[in-house]
Structure 1
């Protein structure tokens, strides 16, 4: 039975024809390609994304989401995606999306820190970030990769990983002002840095980790000693004033120094994390380096003011020991010795100070030699080393004083000492006062009084003479005397001027003398005749006889 509605439609529109379907329009290719590219780009982006790392830091100063980069040796390896606070609001937290291929950098011992301008004890750093902005530096580790949560360092690490050298650990029982980054020096040269400084509450010691760079790491052997360097060391002791200065950096911030303090072989190189003792100063480090020594007790019968721990013990100017304790409180006690007017002092004789050849001594044999030296007169006495400070030291001398060793309960043998020594400044002043008391100041005063009386009489005589001279000079005749002397000198000058070569009187006198000379030459023959024949003045002189020739003698 047919449907009337279908029949009506067939009559109206005719029966439909079956044929091929039409093709999809090419305009749909554009969104399809765009969709494929988007899917590919999303896949590529997701496939190249690195791990998401979370950093915890004290504060997020300089760190901005979407801008702050993570770099390794100035190469970007990641970017900060977000910055927030931790759940307890005590720290900041940054989420970092690392780039592809950086998973091997994220090891357990990897380190992160923020690079920004800093002013510290070692100078100014991070100036390049003033224009570019702060960034996070990553130093990859050498452990197993896979770590995603890290604690950001508050300060950049002192030494970078991979730098050749050796790390050692130091411990000390005294307080100090050392901090990470302070220099480590060897004979004035900076050769390393302090990596960490901590205080161990359990053993109450300061512990440090020190890194020494190559090639200076070869110097760190089992014979070196480490001590604290204050940059400028000023010591005023028994041996005078000593000033030691280090490098400019050590003067400003201090540091640690090490050296070989005793002669001998260099020793064996140490391994990583070898422990050393950090001494207070060079003298303390050198003191601990002596392994051969002998301890003695001295009973001092005079004041020990100025004798301090570390004072030298010398023999003829050569140091051979050190004072260890003043006063020594061991044995039977200090109080009983003080009642006996004796102060016990613990000293140490160190033969190694005389050279490396004394390092292998048999100390028992050495002590026997010391006993024989005591029998020959070796004694100790206090000497003043510095008058200004009053510091004292112990001097060993040979004396004729008899050997007297008192009974004692000490664990160390006694070192004989000269009693009544005058080495200290107080003793010298006391001896000077005693000498002054022996002077007879009364006799000296009487002699001085007599000298003053004689001097007074002399002064009176001089005063009388001065009065007489003053009265003589005040007379009119004495006052006219200079004028008369001046007139006499004028007359004498006029008289002498009349006898000058140009004066008429001088010419007349010259002519008269010439006339007198002619007259005397004329009278000369007459005088000769009168001398030969005095009667010739009355009678005629006889003619002279003819001369007769002489006969030749045969």
Structure 2
């Protein structure tokens, strides 16, 4: 077989590049890129020369710019000449900050009188701060000792010239109206050596405050002036005292400052001549020193600079400077007067002037904005206020406690003074003229009253001691007080202005001056005689002469006398204040509120008294009542009742008859369903030796209780194995309980000594159980069905031949249908003990049945339901229980 050339394989060399060569190329490119990054972003080392290296730690101390870490200290070495060199590595992104004029300084915690800085380094450690500067790149620097002043952008730079630097330093604040607006940037001695050049900057937002005519002065430290008037000192602020300070003032009409403007720095405001200069003329300078203050409403607005004598006018001329803020008030009708010391029994004023010297007060005109400015004024000896006062006339019985110049007050506020005291035309009274300030005249009305006011108000009574003291000025000179009642105040609220020309104006009226506020309140009745009232009672009340008489707890009088009346009754005489005479009428009732009423029981002790004063001094109350019953005796005098209830709504009485009084006594309560409806009034024997108990029943309950069929029984404490009842009667005493009947009204009943066995609503189906003995069953022992009480034992007795017992039980009405003719009854009393091989079993129906005894019943369910039992049917009481009885589940519907 021949070979076919077409079937032979042809081997040719491939000219493509293998993909495996891409990996070395990529690695080479990455290497070149990393090399480029290292060259272009290489960190740079700088050398910073410090005098000391305290708190600088290698690899821990950072270099920061605006709070951002830009480098780390890598090495600290000693300088060959002085100090230490700190080599720090600055990160590449911050290398552009390293210029010739860049500054470095160490930030560490510092505290001084002027500042506290670097507190953050207490936790983070000290660090080196960087402030970039200008110039060529640099890597060697000399650290500054302090943080350089940073001048804000666009700040206004100014130069101040001063004779001395005083307390001015770099960083001293610049103030405008006590708001900081800039700082001192540099303090240098002038080339001539005669002045100090102080360069300051004003923040751009405040630069408009500086004018061409602005004046700067020093407010540093404490300015003091010592004279015979005392020590005058001025302290602008605590900051200015410690760190110094500069302030300035600018006229509003001045133009902006020129670029090369230099300002003079004055030592104080007076040297700056920024205040308004005025001239005061006065006749003498007694106790008025140089530098005396000028006050407006207690606020200092200026000061006297110099006092000289003018021989031509024979007056003293006082040159004074006024604060520019008050310059517009210096007009033609402005007033200046001297505030002098006044010390007398009628007046005490400006006592401090004895030490500090007199001062000058100022007040402006109400229309000063429309008046002509003025710079020369006559200094008066006192304020001219004749046109600000209104005269009021009073008449008094005598001048005791009154002095001219004494104050007239209203609620403690001075509204005027006593102007003049003189005798009336007939010389029987004292005429008192008052000067009332016009702004307070609206307080005076036709019904207004005036009374004497003293500095000490002393009251002593059974309630205690009360001492009210006024300021010493009022103690010495006394005064007069204006009193307005509530009705007058309401009228004043609607009428604020009073016409002096009106005939009904109070300023045309002569007011009476009362001796006290109490008599002023009484008004025209203050001098009327009181009303005498006589009360009669069986016993003398616990009151004394002076004990109060109340109407709705408002004192309207007092007890004036205690005596024995001709009728052998006790007589209590009262004096009723004149303004309360209308309270005494035929329908007025009086009752005693003296002493304490105590009601004690297991629930607590209840103490009733009208007031603490009534305990100590006693008291009597009165009321106008349409229900007044026999409020007067036959001779016409008023009756004094023991209580308000007795006076207006006396109790109604009913009687109970008992064979024995047992524990009853007067005061025992009568209760209906737990509510007290009365009490035992008295106990007495009748002719048959029966105890007659009289009950006082509250009127609102009498018709409900006093009905035929009502039952009354004595409730006392009962302690037995079956439980305890009514323990509170051990303290409060026994009480009588009531079960109301439904018959006709009646007032005499036979009392019961024990609670009735069955309440009327519980009388149901009576059944007789026959047994060999009564066992532990007793009266009121319960009857159970499935451990629910359905009745109780109401009686037990021997049968007719004494061969057994009959136990009478009552099944409650709602359970009567449960008793069928084939129902089974067995004792639930005590317990059963079964003993066997497996152990012993103790069975008891309940703890109650164990203590009280009881009877169980059930109905068989293995036969159809039997008819309901009739009343008084007889059943045998089984001796022992059978287990199957407990399993019976006969369904007995109600009504079948």
User: Which TM class, normalised by the smaller chain length?
Assistant: 0.3 to 0.5
Identify, as 1 or 2, the structure richer in strand: 2
The structure whose Rg is larger is 1
Structure-2-length-normalised TM-score: 0.27
Q: What TM-score comes out, normalization by structure 1 length?
A: 0.42
Higher relative contact order (CA 8 A, sep 6+): 1
